Amino acid sequence: MITSYRNSLRALKSALRHLFHPTILGVLLVPAIGAILVWAGLSWWFWDSWAGGIESGLVNATSDGWIASLELSRFAGFAAVLTVLLLIVPAILVTSMLISAVFAMPILVSQVARRDYPDMERLKGGTFTGSIVNAVTSVSAFVLLWVLTLPLWLFLGPLAIVVPLGLSAYLNQRLFRYDALSEHASQEEMQRIFSQRFSDLFVLGLLTGALYFVPLVNLIAPVFSALAFTGLCLDELARIRGEGAAPTSS
C-alpha cells in the first residue's frame, strides 16, 4: 500500500508538471464548462418534471404512513428539490469526466507521451469503440451504486463522505485507465496492468476523486485526473517493457 501511495504521488507530480503546458491549458476547462452547460439546459427544461415527479412519489408513498401522521408531508417539496440536486451535482461531475475520457484524453495522452515517452512503441490495444463501451459500463455501474447508496447518507452522518469518495475512486480508475493505455499498450499489456496494479490505480482514483469535492478545483479535476492516470499507466507500461516483457500486437 505504501508503494501504491508513492506511485500515486509521483503520478500527481507528473500531472501537475504537464498541467500548465499551453496545449493542456487549452482544454483544461472544456469538460467542466461543457458538462455545466448540458445539465443547465436539461434542468431548465425538465426541472419541474423532475422535482414534481419526486414530490408526488413521496406524497403518495407516505400518505398513509408515518410522515402523514406527523404532518411532515409539507416537506416533500423540499425533499424533492434536495434529491434532484443530489443527483444533478454528481451528474455534472460524471459528464465532465466522460468528456475528458472520450474527447480530451487523446490530446492529453499525446502530450504526455511526446514529452516523457517519445520512443514508446504504439501497439493500439484499445479502440474508440472500446473507449465508449468502457465509459458506458463504468458510468452505469457508478450511477447504480450512487443511487443504491443514497440511503446510507442518512445513517452515516459525517462518515457519509466515505461513500462518494469510494465511488469516485472506482469511477476514476475505471474510466481513465483504458484510455491512458489504449494507444500504446497491447490488449495483453492493458489487462496485465489493470490486474497487477489495481491497488495503485485505486489509490490514485481515491486521491484524485477527493478533488471533485473541492469548489473551483473540481472544474479542473477531470483533466488533472486524466493526466495523472496517463502518467501512472505509461510509467508502468515503460517499466514492464524495460523488464523484458516483449510487447505483443493484438
Mean pLDDT of 214-229: 91
pLDDT at 158: 67
For the ranges 25-29, 35-39, 59-63, 224-228, the lowest mean pLDDT is seen at 59-63
pLDDT for 246 beyond 50 = no
Residues 6 or more apart whose Cβ sits within 8 Å of residue 144: none
Task: Report the distance separating Cα 245 and Cα 192, nearest Å.
Answer: 11
For the ranges 27-36, 52-61, 192-201, 228-237, the lowest mean pLDDT is seen at 52-61
For the ranges 44-53, 136-145, 222-231, 239-248, the lowest mean pLDDT is seen at 239-248
Asked if 180 and 152 touch (Cβ cutoff 8 Å), the reply is no
Asked if 84 and 47 touch (Cβ cutoff 8 Å), the reply is yes
pLDDT at 216: 87
Greatest pairwise CA separation for the chain in angstroms = 72
pLDDT for 37 beyond 60 = yes
Task: Report the distance separating Cα 182 and Cα 132, nearest Å.
Answer: 12
pLDDT at 143: 84
Q: Which three cell numbers stand for residue 1?
A: 500500500
Q: Which three cell numbers stand for residue 4?
A: 501504491
pLDDT at 92: 87
pLDDT at 114: 92
Whether the predicted model's global pTM rises above the 0.85 cut = no
Q: Is residue 206 helix, strand or coil?
A: helix
The amino acid sitting at 129 is: T
pLDDT digit string, tens, across residues 112-153: 999 999 999 999 999 989 999 999 899 899 888 888 887 777
The DSSP output letter for 101 is I
The amino acid sitting at 168 is: S
Map grid coordinates 510487447 to a residue.
247
The separation between CA 42 and the C-alpha centre of its own chain, rounded to angstroms, equals 21
Which burial class, exposed, middle or buried, applies to 203 when counting CB atoms under 10 A from its CB (0-12, 13-18, 19+)? Answer: buried
Domain boundaries defined on the chain: 2-29+92-242
